A and B are shown apart, each in its own frame.
Chain A
């Protein structure tokens, strides 16, 4: 291989190592970005929706207690407010099914909420249920806790998934930084090796050739210059030796 190609290959290898590490780092960084977005879209949205549903359920539970006390207007107003909030949270959760099996959790919430809803959707004030604490504890409160538990399960599922995504993020950020570090270290080692080879197979022969020519000029005696490689420098030595041979004739 010619000298030009050898030197070019050195630079090409160096460039390739750095370029590929750079491309990989960019790819991983972009992946980190999309993971963050995914985490926000997939999990954080559902967690927020769950919180909304729990808040709505708490409101409805308080409202049922107000109805038991005979406060119809306040109770019904809070129940409606809770219903709107719950529906808003539920719709977000229902339209954000991103984890395998998440649909069954949402279905469970829907079923339990429907059961809970039947408890307070019928009249309470002015009926036999008014001030019936036994009915409240035996049926309504249980249905409330059951629905709340279903919502909590959805929140835990998303929490776990968010933790997993965060762990993946850590791995991705490691993979985004390591290629750069490795490439820099490899490039340093490679540069040292490249420098050694250039020195050994390019600079040193040139120095030997120069010394040989100087010696010939000073003494008129030809000196055998050895070059290990079969490249442009070997051709140069051969040409110089031919020239010296002609001059000496």
Chain B
């Protein structure tokens, strides 16, 4: 593996970070707030660190699978490290641990925050906070590759690692054009949502930052009470629609934009995703009606938003679901574990794996009934290889195992069981808010420092689909 090549392309990632940091600094300059120098210095550091490898390392068009893989993981980690600079330099509630937590939470599009008073932050920092979502969501590597024509075949290699392996399997992308399409959809959705939110009455800053948070399925808001602050049904509907869209496989979105609606409706994953959300909304609305909301309209309104927000791993909130009945909370936790489709910016186990898992369970039952029969797991009329099914089941087991392990760590540190479990599930799933002390209107400030580091580790594991990080830690990867 050529470390110099890895450093060159992670340098490009840092240049993207630097661009957004400079933009945030311009906002601070305009406001004359205290975040100007921290943002400017962080931008400069990111730019200098990004430029230096480009100066030294000659451009190459051939990147091996292993190098591409390391670039992705290294790019994420470096971005998180650079992303914490403006926070730690600014101070306030940000010590080193809190800055790292906020930065990782941003880049992994988790949206969990340590801030007790979000509105106390200067607008420049708030913009950077939301931008980390957007950069993370678009996949820094994909973004960089789409604007750099010198990469050649490397783009596809990186894409496979960044996105869910399942997405790479069922999405017909084989060239750099893929990345252009993905970015176009991503940018298009962001611009469209921003425009509609502006029409709904939000100012440009809030519209942009909330569009960043929605399309990246992140969930950082610029308000202490998240989307509830606006108390606007139209804003909630717009954000809900875009949360649902952002949870759909980008290939399906592209098919829809291209007019291939038949392909869209034939997608079993999409059907499962939408039906699951619909059932979830119905069940939660029934449970919160009467005890929390006396009006059916309100029950459906708040249930819809919370279910869609957690079910797409976004994490915005319009109500404090921590005070909802236990059944509603458990259902929301199940959505926190499942989340949306592979190939989207969503986190969690993903509906694709859930569908394959249940099909594998059915196959197992059938094979017990008919021991001689050859039964395959089919998805969209195509048989799935056994190793895909095995990897899926293994992933789910590992995912739940890590969630349990993080819960144990938090429990050991004195965090109550509900907060510990829901927080762990929400962080590995890149959802953000959990229940108990880390509810939709709460924050992670009370979690002990060691717990925060454990949660950031699980965020990264979840975002990079567990195996990527594990392989990176193997010494053989660096040979």
Contacts and interface: CB of A to CB of B under 8 A. Distances in A.
Contacts of B57: 197, 201
Interface in A201-236: 201, 228-230
Contacts of B85: 182
Given A13-B52, A16-B48, A178 B37 contact: no
Nearest to A16: B48
A210 B305 CA distance: 69
A54 interface: no
A16 B49 CA distance: 12
A201 B53 CA distance: 11
Interface in B58-94: 58, 85, 88-92
Interface in B33-51: 34, 37-38, 41, 44-45, 48-49, 51
Contacts of A230: 58
Contacts of A229: 58
Interface in A227-249: 228-230
B41 A20 contact: yes
A16 B48 CA distance: 9
Nearest to B3: A196
A178 B52 contact: no
Interface residues of A, number: 29
Contact of A175 (B3, B45, B90): B90
A236 to B, nearest CB: 17
A172 to B, nearest CB: 9
Interface string B190-211: 0000000000000000000000
A200 B4 CA distance: 8
Given A20-B44, A193-B7, A200-B4, A9 B52 contact: yes
B55 interface: yes
Contacts of A186: 45, 49
Interface of A: 1, 6, 9-10, 13, 16-17, 20-21, 24, 27, 171, 174-175, 178-179, 182, 186, 189-190, 193-194, 196-197, 200-201, 228-230
Interface of B: 3-4, 7, 34, 37-38, 41, 44-45, 48-49, 51-53, 55-58, 85, 88-92
Given A6-B56, A174-B91, A186-B49, 16 more contacts: A16-B44, A16-B48, A17-B44, A20-B44, A27-B37, A175-B34, A175-B37, A175-B38, A175-B90, A178-B91, A179-B41, A179-B89, A186-B45, A190-B48, A193-B7, A201-B4
